[in-house]
């Protein structure tokens, strides 16, 4: 399967950090951490994405380097793309979409989504 990055239009979505970023482990047995082509650790953040109709989805988004975000913060992923993947398993296939962003930054700059009171 050829992997072509699919751009994600994030302007119509609101993102909230649900779980702090942590390094992505590629081998559970050895604990090996995934790195990008420049040797930087890849971090994975769990974000809640909400559209204008109130539909929500949890997505894991990878970034090169640790993003400065905390659970509860409204965040903005920039340069977000999706990649379709497929893995043969026991005569069938599992597939999904993985997401990567150039960066994930807080909207307010304050932990916990803190707006001005």
At 67-79, the pLDDT tens digits run 999 999 999 999 9
- CATH assignment of 5-106? 2.40.50.140
Low-confidence stretches of the chain (pLDDT beneath 70): 1-2, 109-117
Provide, rounded to the nearest whole percent, the portion of the chain with pLDDT above 70.
Answer: 91
SS3 98: strand
* pLDDT for residue 115: 45
Cα 9 to Cα 16, 41, 81: the distances in Å are 16, 25, 9
The chain-wide mean pLDDT, for the chain, equals 89
Cβ–Cβ < 8 Å for 18, 47: yes
Q: pTM of this prediction?
A: 0.82
* pLDDT for residue 57: 95
In this structure, what token pair is assigned to residue 87?
């893995």
Residue with tokens 């398993």: 89
* pLDDT for residue 48: 97
Domain boundaries, the chain: 5-106
* pLDDT for residue 117: 38
Q: How many CB atoms lie within 10 A of CB 20?
A: 14
Cβ–Cβ < 8 Å for 2, 12: no
């Amino acid at each position: 399967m050829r992997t072509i990055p699919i751009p994600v239009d994030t302007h119509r979505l609101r993102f909230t950090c649900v779980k702090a970023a942590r390094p992505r482990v590629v081998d559970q047995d050895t604990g090996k951490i995934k790195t990008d082509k420049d040797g930087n650790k890849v971090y994975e953040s769990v974000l809640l994405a909400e559209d204008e109709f109130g539909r929500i989805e949890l997505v894991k988004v990878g970034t090169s380097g640790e993003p400065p975000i905390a659970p509860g913060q409204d965040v903005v992923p920039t340069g977000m793309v999706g990649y379709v993947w497929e893995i043969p398993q026991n005569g069938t296939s599992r597939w999904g979409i993985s997401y990567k962003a150039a960066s994930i930054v807080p909207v307010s700059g304050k932990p916990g989504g803190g707006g001005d009171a």
